Amino acid sequence: MNALLTSIGYSSWILPALLIIPIVGAAVIWLLGARRSRPSGDEVASGVASAPRLIALVTFAVEFVVSLGLWWSFDPASAAWQSVVDLAWIPSWGIRFTIGVDGIAVMMVLLTTFIMLLSVGGSWTSIRARAHSYYALLLILTTGMIGVFLALDLFLFYVMWEVMLIPMYFIIGIWGGDRRIYASLKFFIYTMVGSLLMLVAIIYLGLAARNPATGIASFGYDDILQNARVTSTAAKWLFGAFFLAFAVKVPMFPFHTWLPDAHVEAPTAGSVVLASIMLKLGTFGFLRLAVPLFPTAAMDPTIRGLILGLAVVGIVYGALVSLVQPDFKKLVAYSSVSHLGFVMLGIFALTVQSVQGALMVMINHGISTGALFLLVGMIYERRHTRLIDAYGGIARVVPMFAAALTIVTFSSIGVPGTNGFVGEFLVLIGAFRTQPILTFIATTAVIISAAYLLWAIQRILFNPLDKPENEHIPDLNRRELAIMVPIVAAIIWLGVYPAPVLRRMEGAAEKFVGSVDARRNMLMRGVAEGRR
């Protein structure tokens, strides 16, 4: 397979292709669809939606298939950036268009293309108005997200970061639930506040890394890593700026309150993308930018302790609040806060096991929580309510749905044999070596997560079938089954045989842990104050 890929020069064009394909798809949809859309009317029933959604499906399928090559073309043994494309963009400001991947980025890109393909399937019949705009926005969103994972130039990173926000804002605001305007505004402004501070920090860094001979700033990632000269107090402030931007995205307690509203009000695919991918961008930001650029600030005992404390608080708090939610989507939203707390714990505990575990949790959470939102969307299309108490005993009526929901629930709880266990186990066993007490507290979340999810699915699937409106719900149709099968397969595969995935991310994880340690040691050996 590798030979085939090298023969077509895969590595050289794959990354730009991943960015361009969705844009081309979006353009095609807009051009074709804008004329046929009417302001009102059911586009799915009348067939107007068929063209946009089909084009979107084909585009995402092509994107996914094309991205699969990264699985084989990526060389886990090499520590350098791979498939790099480096073009001049705005030379006078030192901004270049540089994109490349390491192990983490590869897995995130694959997760993105996989989830986006499934989310188109999930929106097939639930988006019934202005479909062409919707699918076009999904495509542009994809470019933004993949761009963030690929960017190796900080300015490009920021541009892509902002590119993601606007389609999401529209998706929530136009096709969302009852409180969609409030939710989308809250999401946009909350995220923007953090990002603006990050912009200031990026500009500062770019200037700090300027070429002393020419005076031109440089925003390249490796450049800044090597050359930027920042005082240690400035480093703390810069880290704080990055921290705020990413902490809102993760979301860390107490910056998480945008998430329940955004998730509940967003349409199905919006929630899926938000949970599966966009939350990972926050943790990815920590892994790629915040910590490697400012290791001393990040590992400063007070700051690190604060972040770890917030992570563990998030884990337990998110789980406890999930327990009492009447709305199933909100329950899943708060459970995301809990799961992402594990990721933060893994990253800042700083052992190879905990970092690899954090990466696995990122992937696994993307799959299982995305699946949960897809399932909620399916049942919502049938009954138009997300309240748990409106259901009860429906496993009798929709057995395939019940089976899927049960399997995904067990993945989310972290039952061994499913993917959820591998990530959580690695995070906890790694974190225990450096933070035993915090890990002890975090492990109690396994009890609470079982409680809230099992209680929720019991009230939905089991118990007596006492409401007449639930007696005739149709089961999953073939399209929905086709969406769930790959997810269940992924859940089991990653639970039983995660080794290939772990191997690909190993290099990046070890580099992360090693570089932070190395930089800290370098500074502790008394390098002069003026150098980072």
Partner 1 sequence: MLSLLQAATAGAHPLTGTIAEWVWLVPLLPLLGFIFNGALSLASAYHPGPGDPALDAGDHSHHTHPTPEEHGAAGDDTHAVARHRFATVTSMVGSGVLILSFLLSAAIFFAMRGAGEITAPFVQRYFSWMPVGDLRVDAALQLDQLSMMMTLVVTGVGALIHLFSVGYMQDDPGYPRYFAYLNLFVFFMLLLVLGGNYPLLFIGWEGVGLCSYLLIGFWFSEKANADAGKKAFIVNRIGDFGFLIAMFMIFANMRTLDFTGVQEGAASLPVGGTLVTAICLFLFLGCIGKSAQIPLYVWLPDAMAGPTPVSALIHAATMVTAGVYLIARSSMLFSIAPVAQIVVVVIGALTAIFAASIGLKQWDIKKVLAYSTVSQLGYMFIGVGSGAYVTGLFHLVTHAFFKALLFLGSGSVIFAMHRAYHHSGNHDDAQDMRNMGGLKQYMPVTFGLMWIATLAIAGIPPLSGFFSKDEILGALFARAGHSTIASAHLFGIPGSAWLYFAYLLGLIAAFMTAVYMTRMMIYTFHGPNRTGQKERGHLAEAPWIMTGPLVVLGVLTAIGGWINLPDFAPLGVVGALEHWLDPVLGAPTAHVIAGAGETSASLEYGLVGLAVLIAAGGIALAWTRLEPDTLVPKREAPQEEGFEKVLVNKYYVDEIYDETIVQPVIGISRGLLWRGIDVGLIDGLGVNGSAYFTRFVGWVGSQLQSGQLGTYAWVLVAGVLAVLGAFSIR
* Residue whose CB is less far from partner 1, 447 or 528: 447
Q: How far apart are CB 204 and partner 1 at their closest, in Å?
A: 25
Strand, coil or helix: what is 214?
A: coil
One of 114, 135, 246, 258 touching partner 1 (CB under 8 A): 258
Q: Give 206 or 357: the residue with its C-beta nearer to partner 1.
A: 357
CB of 12 to partner 1, least distance (A): 31
Name the minimum Å distance from CB 503 to partner 1.
7
**DSSP character at residue 129:** S
Q: 219 vs 432, which CB is nearer to partner 1?
A: 432
Residue 437 in contact with partner 1, rule: CB under 8 A: no
Q: Residue 257, interface with partner 1 (CB under 8 A)?
A: yes
- What type of residue sits at position 57? L
| Cβ(172)–Cβ(265) below 8 Å | yes
519 lines the binding site for partner 1 (CB under 8 A):
no
Q: Nearer Cβ to partner 1, position 125 or 515?
A: 125
Considering only CA atoms, which of 198, 206, 187 is closest in space to residue 279?
Answer: 187
Q: Which is nearer to partner 1, 272 or 502 (CB)?
A: 502
Residue 276 vs 411, nearer CB to partner 1 = 411
Told to check if 464 binds partner 1 by CB under 8 A, we report yes
Identify which range of 115-123, 468-476, 485-493, 523-531 contacts partner 1 by CB under 8 A.
468-476
Q: Does residue 41 bind partner 1 (CB under 8 A)? A: no
Give 258's contacts (C-beta < 8 A, 6+ positions apart). 183, 186, 187, 190, 191, 248, 251
499 is an interface residue for partner 1 by CB under 8 A: yes
Cβ proximity to partner 1: between 305 and 417 the closer is 417
410 binds partner 1 (CB under 8 A): yes
Question: Which of 122, 206, 285, 498 contacts partner 1 by CB under 8 A?
Answer: 498
Q: How far is CA 429 from CA 67, 110, 441, 480, in A?
A: 32, 27, 13, 37
58 versus 324: smaller Cβ distance to partner 1: 324
Stretch near partner 1 under the rule CB under 8 A, chosen from 152-160, 197-205, 233-241, 499-507: 499-507
- CA dist 127 and 279 (Å) reads 23
Q: Does 313 bind partner 1 (CB under 8 A)?
A: no
> Which of 70, 428, 487, 516 contacts partner 1 by CB under 8 A?
428
Judge contact between 340 and 406, C-beta under 8 A.
no
Cβ burial, residue 302 (10 Å; 0-12/13-18/19+):
exposed
Q: What are phi and psi of 96, to 5 degrees?
A: -120, 155
User: Which of 98, 276, 353, 369 is in the footprint of partner 1 by CB under 8 A?
Assistant: 353
Q: How far, in Å, CA of 136 to CA of 64, rounded?
A: 17
323 binds partner 1 (CB under 8 A): yes
Site size toward partner 1 (CB under 8 A) is 80
440 binds partner 1 (CB under 8 A): yes
Verify binding: residue 299, partner 1, rule CB under 8 A: no
| 355 touches 434 (CB < 8 A) | no
Question: Does 320 participate in binding partner 1 (rule CB under 8 A)?
Answer: yes
Q: Are 20 and 69 contacting, i.e. CB atoms less than 8 angstroms apart? A: no
Closest distance of CB 441 from partner 1, Å: 11
User: If binding is defined by CB under 8 A, does position 368 make contact with partner 1?
Assistant: no
Question: Counting Cβ atoms within 10 Å, is residue 105 exposed (0-12), middle (13-18) or buried (19+)?
Answer: buried
CB 326 within 8 A of CB 388: yes
Which of 163, 196, 387, 429 binds partner 1 (CB under 8 A)? It is: 429
Binding residues among 118-137 for partner 1 as defined by CB under 8 A: 125-126, 128
Do 349 and 442 contact (CB within 8 A), yes or no?
no
Instruction: Check binding of 44 to partner 1 (CB under 8 A).
Output: yes
Instruction: Return the residue of 18, 160, 361, 446 that touches partner 1, per CB under 8 A.
Output: 446
Report how far residue 293's alpha carbon sits from residue 66's, in angstroms, rounded to the nearest whole number.
32
Where does residue 376 rank: exposed (0-12), middle (13-18), buried (19+ CB within 10 A)? buried
Q: Is 351 in the site for partner 1 (CB under 8 A)?
A: yes
Q: Is 493 in the site for partner 1 (CB under 8 A)?
A: no
Site string for partner 1, 370-409 (x = CB under 8 A): --------x--xx----------x-xxx-xx--x------
Q: Which amino acid is at 83?
A: S
Which helix (DSSP H) or strand (DSSP E) does residue 283 occupy?
A: helix 279-285
Residue 335: closest CA among 244, 414, 433, 426: 414
Tokens representing 501 are: 């995935």
Q: CB 440 → partner 1: shortest distance, Å?
A: 6
Cβ nearer to partner 1, comparing 72 with 462: 462
Please provide residue 374's backbone torsions phi and psi, each rounded to the nearest 5 degrees.
Answer: -60, -45
3-state secondary structure of 267: coil
Which residues 181-210 are close enough to bind partner 1 by CB under 8 A? 186, 190
- Side-chain half-sphere exposure of 387, counting CA atoms within 13 A: 4
Closer of 299 and 323 to partner 1 (Cβ): 323
Residue from 3, 437, 447, 528 that binds partner 1 (CB under 8 A)? 447
* Binding status of residue 515 toward partner 1 by CB under 8 A: no
Instruction: Please give the backbone phi and psi of residue 225, each rounded to the nearest 5 degrees, phi first.
Output: -60, -40
Beta carbons within 10 angstroms of residue 252's beta carbon = 25
481 touches partner 1 (CB under 8 A): yes
**What six digits make up the tokens of 507?**
């290099």
Contact between 172 and 270 (Cβ < 8 Å): yes
